[in-house]
Copies of this chain bind each other. A is one copy, B any other.
Amino acid sequence: MSNPTAAMLVIGDEILSGRTRDSNTHFLAGQLTDAGIDMKEVRVVSDDAPAIIAAVQALSAAYTYVFTSGGIGPTHDDITADCVAAAFDTHIDVRDDARALLAAFYANTGRELNDARLRMARIPDGAALIENPVSVAPGFKIGNVHVMAGVPSVFCAMVASILPTLTGGAPLLSQSLRVVRGEGDIAAPLGAFAKRHPTLSVGCYPFQDNGIYGANVVVRGQDRAVLDSAMVDLSALFPA
């Protein structure tokens, strides 16, 4: 049986302009792989409502799970929540449960729960809140879309809180062999190897290290015995 699939949608001009380097995708990719969920696609779009709505709809229709990052803060450029509501054709407004979380937090810190901060309590009808143990303002889940913050510490904490709610598959196991021969020299036997092991995915990632050409061959699959037996085959093919 094949694993559930996933897509990541990163929202933010700052990524596309090169101002900020996205780190959430790489973090999520590793977490999903460990959970047996296959990340199939990533998109990055700008703070532009039609672009966000179209991407949410396309990814939500194509994959088991969608995860978004960015655009749920208090400022005018934070439009993700409204766009996700629009993508699901759902009403959105400040919701009492989210407002209560924020009210308690700001009362404790002596800061004002003003209109801007209240925007972070805008949650689409029917969505479930995603806990934010870092800075309280929640994410939410609607349909198969998980809407999370862009700030990496908050994103990671939110991922930790939703991971137990996801249905994973067999974790993708991975083994690799470092081969100190040019990628072009090993390509033909490696292609035949990949054909001999059709249930495994075989990747070849070249490196150059002080003038030495080589490649890391990475073999991935869900069945440990099949993977182990393939690695014996691979080692015989490319003895050290």
* Residues of chain A at the chain B interface (Cβ within 8 Å): 10, 13-22, 25-33, 38-47, 51, 73-77, 111-112, 114-117, 119-120, 151, 172, 174, 182-188, 190-191, 194, 201-206, 218, 220
Contact = CB atoms under 8 A, between A and B. Distances in A.
A13 B30 CA distance: 12
B73 A204 contact: yes
B26 A18 contact: yes
Contacts of A203: 13-14, 19, 47, 77
Given A73-B187, A74-B184, A115-B188, 8 more contacts: A16-B40, A17-B29, A17-B174, A22-B26, A76-B191, A77-B203, A111-B184, A114-B184
A189 to B, nearest CB: 9
A117 B73 contact: no
Contacts of A73: 183, 187, 204, 206
B42 A42 contact: yes
A17 B40 CA distance: 9
Contacts of A27: 18
State the number of copies, please: 2
Contact of A17 (B39, B47, B77, B120): B39
A117 B74 contact: no
Give the most central of A19, A30, A120: most B CB within 10 Å.
Answer: A19
A184 B151 contact: no
A17 B114 contact: no
A82 B88 CA distance: 37
A133 to B, nearest CB: 14
A155 B172 CA distance: 29
Contacts of A187: 73-76, 114, 116-117, 119
A30 to B, nearest CB: 3
A216 B41 CA distance: 30
Contacts of A77: 194, 202-204
Contacts of A191: 75-76, 116
Given A40-B46, A40-B51, A45-B41, A183 B218 contact: no
A112 B185 contact: yes
11 contacts: A16-B40, A17-B33, A18-B28, A19-B174, A40-B45, A42-B44, A73-B204, A74-B187, A112-B184, A114-B188, A119-B187
